[in-house]
Structure 1
């Protein structure tokens, strides 16, 4: 028993010593890497330390904004690291820089308070394990990155500690140096001097005059887009060359999008400076609209060129075209899909680069690639499956544009192959839209996989008395006289069925393609039926009825023979 208590006490002592050693090591590590060491006197100390709270990043930003809104710019200057300024200028320039920074933050920064750390060491919680910095103390935090004249400017917080003083969070010296340039680019515009004070109050995150100006600006942009749309159409109607006219006509709407987005960008850069929430939403949307408009314009021009090539080289596509021509048309559609993929990829890269999202999303995307793969696989299973099936068709070519196929009882031509669906044109000019994934998973007949020839079958039901030898000669004469029947040596006839009511006769003729074969088979059937109707009407199918007769008497052969003769006449 004593041994048990002795071992338990020894175990607790070892655990206590280990815990204290680990805590001491953690403190030593925190003191060496969780802040920037500065010299004594490098940081301005406020007279009233109770009102100036700078222990955490969230506290620093919140107090700075609150002080600048109240006009206490001298106190707000204590949240700036002015160590790069000469000491004699810090007291004079500090309040001015604090006011300018507050205006820049108001116009450009939409603060994510939940994401702004409330810990002195700014450590990310372990729950965010997809971030490489999770579980580690941080000594600087980036709030906003903007680009001006090809150079990056950042609003950033840093943690600083002077000897014998607590560590504090301040706006970094680099941020202080960037304030004048940021203020010139995003500060108040000249027209704001004439705005009444009543319209400068905050309402729902925006100022009152912004709520009035945004609808006016949207209406002006809509009018500009309509004007560009009309001008492009007016210009396209006066172009003589069909290819250029078609390309310009198709680009009317995307060009209007580009014009509207560009005008809005110019208004934001030069004339109007909205608050942070509006700017944060408008700039990415305008950038996406502009990139999308340029991409769609380029795609429309490429489509016009490809259509022109198709009409000039191939013409209208159906199964009468050669295999090489249908291969060319299918390859043109495959090129278009590749171009679309490249344009979408380039557009995504441009948007991410312009919005400076690579730095913040790169590690997260790499670390969470498995999760994203699962989510995309579940959410986009149908779309991705159709796209993969479309690429499978483009590579393996089980069907081509213009192929004649029989799909689920419908005889149709493959008119178009898109990313997610196929468009089939039936013989009676109907359009069947089939998802690509569903199409490749179902059996179908491709009558043009080798060539367009097809052996058409004409089936006729006639009475037992119909003579196949006579009809065979008639069919051969009719088929050989028809210009659309090829390979006369393939002509063939046979009785393919026999029933109680009659017999089934089949006639076979080779035709150059399915569409010609359909019309030819109708024509041959009509001529065969006309011959039977005029020359052998007794060959039409007839119904036979067997009547009940009384038993014949023995020895009365004359009466029995007469009765059989009358019955035969009645049946006829």
Structure 2
């Protein structure tokens, strides 16, 4: 039978376990300079490890008899021990989830550094890992909640009845949470069908942006002006949207210019090529300048097309080329600026003479 004299032993055990965790944290912190996993373990697991060590040490030493020998004191000790059991399940679950996040962060850090043609596949794997670890965390938490509930004898006694009514309850919950379940399934479909990935460039509802966050229930789109558009995952499975980086990050930039018929297109084409060669945003691959339309208002439409490594570079390159073409035509061929011709009876009579 334990006595109040055991309280110092309990205190020493708890403090000793915390000190052991602190020693391990310092060692991992030093190893984190060369070992990425150690750094992530320190970032994610420090506080869960402290709490887990303290609670586990308390459970190993603590006994209901430490409160006394009377029935009421023993009942109080049993209640405290049961509460400690619940707290133990909670902190161990927290530690497991954080350790899983630390392990996956090592992989995600490496994938973020992948560039070039392999970047698309890396972003797909990042998206899938993010969703899978959220599902795994949810499953672990549900199992922990179940273990906490079944630690009560009353709940264990009701277990058979709960299992018998699980079919009816499941049907009710399924009907009530139909939209949520649909979003979860849509999130899995997007992630594993490779239709949408983190950092993809998309156009949704006439808004251009990048996929900043992709969860099982919603998608966060970071727009070009730093606004955030939050949409349910099911939106992307039920509505059309543009994905500019579906098969790669390379994008074609297009600039339209409407000028007078007198514009010397070959000279303008040579000037555009010289400008692109000096512009670092051009990826040195595709470019062209074509007359794409003869407009009814007496103008011709020129289309300048050039390639860029990604969509932000494409946008900046497009603005640079547009500014260059406008300045070049104004300074070198002012007679080719847009003009609208109006024919009057006097001018028609003069032309007849």
What is the TM-score when the length of structure 2 is the normalising length? 0.73
Match of 2:350 in 1: 561
Is 1:339 paired with 2:136? yes
For residues 298-323 of structure 1, the C-alpha deviation after alignment (integer angstroms, 9 at most, x for no partner) is: 22222223222322x32357887533
For residues 461-481 of structure 1, the C-alpha deviation after alignment (integer angstroms, 9 at most, x for no partner) is: 334543444433433443355
Structure 1 residues 257, 545: CA separation in 2 closer, same or farther (over 3 Å shift)?
farther
> Given that residues 492 and 508 in structure 1 are in contact (C-alpha distance below 8 angstroms), is that contact kept between their aligned partners in structure 2?
yes
- 1:414 equivalent among 211, 222, 230: 211
Aligned pair count reads: 332
Give runs of aligned pairs for residues 294-305 of structure 1, distance below 5 A: 294-305=92-103
Residues in 2 aligned to 1:277 and 1:434: alpha-carbon distance in whole angstroms = 50
Is 1:240 paired with 2:36? no
Residues in 1 aligned to 2:217 and 2:92: alpha-carbon distance in whole angstroms = 23
Match of 2:173 in 1: 376
Give the number of the structure whose residues are more often helix, by fraction. Answer: 2
> Given that residues 318 and 403 in structure 1 are in contact (C-alpha distance below 8 angstroms), is that contact kept between their aligned partners in structure 2?
no
**Shift of the alpha carbon at 1:544?**
5.8
Give runs of aligned pairs for residues 157-236 of structure 1, distance below 5 A: none
Match of 2:107 in 1: 309
> Given that residues 403 and 414 in structure 1 are in contact (C-alpha distance below 8 angstroms), is that contact kept between their aligned partners in structure 2?
yes
**Shift of the alpha carbon at 1:431?**
4.0
Residues in 2 aligned to 1:386 and 1:487: alpha-carbon distance in whole angstroms = 41
- 1:325 equivalent among 122, 125, 129: 122
Please report the RMSD computed on the Cα atoms of aligned residues, expressed in angstroms: 4.3
Q: Secondary structure at 1:449's aligned position in 2? A: coil
For residues 76-112 of structure 1, the C-alpha deviation after alignment (integer angstroms, 9 at most, x for no partner) is: xxxxxxxxxxxxxxxxxxxxxxxxxxxxxxxxxxxxx
- 1:450 equivalent among 247, 257, 263: 247
Structure 1 residues 344, 539: CA separation in 2 closer, same or farther (over 3 Å shift)?
same
Q: Which structure would you say has the larger Rg? A: 1
Which structure exhibits the higher relative contact order, with contacts defined as CA atoms closer than 8 Å and separated by 6 or more residues? 2
Residues in 2 aligned to 1:467 and 1:283: alpha-carbon distance in whole angstroms = 90
Structure 1 residues 533, 232: CA separation in 2 closer, same or farther (over 3 Å shift)?
farther
Match of 2:43 in 1: 249
Residues in 2 aligned to 1:233 and 1:524: alpha-carbon distance in whole angstroms = 60
**Shift of the alpha carbon at 1:509?**
1.7
What is the TM-score when the length of structure 1 is the normalising length? 0.48
**Shift of the alpha carbon at 1:283?**
6.9
For residues 18-55 of structure 1, the C-alpha deviation after alignment (integer angstroms, 9 at most, x for no partner) is: xxxxxxxxxxxxxxxxxxxxxxxxxxxxxxxxxxxxxx
Structure 1 residues 261, 331: CA separation in 2 closer, same or farther (over 3 Å shift)?
same
Bigger CA drift: 340-349 or 527-536?
340-349
Residues in 1 aligned to 2:292 and 2:23: alpha-carbon distance in whole angstroms = 65
Residues in 1 aligned to 2:278 and 2:4: alpha-carbon distance in whole angstroms = 90
